[in-house]
A and B are shown apart, each in its own frame.
Chain A
C-alpha cells in the first residue's frame, strides 16, 4: 500500500539556518503530495502541495519539489525563524487510496533564537 517516510526528529536549528526535512514515498499511480504543519496546540495547516512530477510547491519561504524519479518531496527553507518551530507532516493522496490522506510520522522542528 501507499506509504510516506520522513526523517526522524527532532531537528534543532539556530535562527537563520537552512532547513531540509527529507520525505520519500511509495505509491501506485500518480499521487498528489503535501506538506502540512502543526503548531503547538493547533490543528494541521496545509503548507504547500504539488500534484504532478517536477511541480514545485512553495509558501512562506518553504519549498518542495515533486521528484518522481527519486520518489521524494523534501521540504526546504533558506532561513528559519523561531516562529517556524512546529511539527511538519509529509503526506500523499492517490486515486487508489480514495479519500485517504497518508501521513508520514512527522518531524518536530525546534528553532533557537
Chain B
C-alpha cells in the first residue's frame, strides 16, 4: 500500500466552526507533514511530525492545531478560520530522518477547504 488518504475531500466551514482534517498512511513512514497550497502556487510547509512528535512548526497561526495520534494518523484541527485560509490542504509522509535526505514524500489528494 503506497497510498496516503485524506478526508474529507471537500470542506466548507464558517469562521466560527470547528472541524478536523484527517490523513492516514500505512507505509510505515515515520515522518508526516501538513502543507497548504493556494491556487497556482507550490505547497507551503505548515507542520512536520517525526516519530509522532512535532518536529517543525512553520509559525502557523494557532487556529490550526495538528495532532498525531499514532504513526499512521495525522489530524489538523481547525477553529476560527479566516476566509484567507481557504486553500488545498495536503498531507504527505516519508521515511524518517534515519533514512537520510534521499527519501521522497508521498502526498495525499488533499482537502479543498473553503472558509465563508
* Most chain B beta-carbon contacts within 10 A, residue among A42, A49, A105: A42
Interface set, chain A 90-113, CB cutoff 8 A to B: 93-95, 97-101, 103-106, 108
Query: How many angstroms between the C-alpha atoms of A21 and B109 in the bound complex?
Result: 24
User: Contact partner of A46 among B31, B45, B104, B109, CB < 8 A?
Assistant: B104
B43 close to A99 (CB less than 8 A): no
A43 close to B56 (CB less than 8 A): no
* Most chain A beta-carbon contacts within 10 A, residue among B4, B6, B45, B55: B45
Q: A99-B97, A105-B41 are in contact. Are A44 and B90 (CB under 8 A)?
A: yes
Query: How many angstroms between the C-alpha atoms of A51 and B99 in the bound complex?
Result: 13
Using an 8 Å CB-CB cutoff, how does the interface string of B84-116 with A read, 1 for contact, 0 for none?
Answer: 000000101010010001101111111000000
Using an 8 Å CB-CB cutoff, how does the interface string of B44-66 with A read, 1 for contact, 0 for none?
Answer: 01001010000110000000000
The count of chain B contact residues (Cβ–Cβ below 8 Å) is 26
Query: How many angstroms between the C-alpha atoms of A36 and B109 in the bound complex?
Result: 14
Residues of A contacting B101 in the complex (Cβ-Cβ under 8 angstroms)? 31-32, 93-95, 97
The count of chain A contact residues (Cβ–Cβ below 8 Å) is 25
Residues of A contacting B42 in the complex (Cβ-Cβ under 8 angstroms)? 89, 103-106
The verdict on A45 contacting chain B, using a C-beta distance below 8 Å, is yes
Residues of B contacting A49 in the complex (Cβ-Cβ under 8 angstroms)? 102, 104
B31 close to A99 (CB less than 8 A): yes
Query: How many angstroms between the C-alpha atoms of A108 and B43 in the bound complex?
Result: 15
Q: Known A-B contacts: A97-B101, A98-B97, A99-B56. Give 9 more (CB < 8 A).
A: A43-B107, A44-B107, A49-B104, A89-B42, A95-B101, A104-B42, A105-B41, A106-B40, A108-B40
Which residues of A are in contact with B by a Cβ distance under 8 Å? 31-32, 34, 36, 42-46, 49, 51, 89, 93-95, 97-101, 103-106, 108
Which 5 pairs across A and B sit closest by C-beta, in order of nearness?
A103-B42, A43-B107, A44-B107, A46-B104, A51-B102
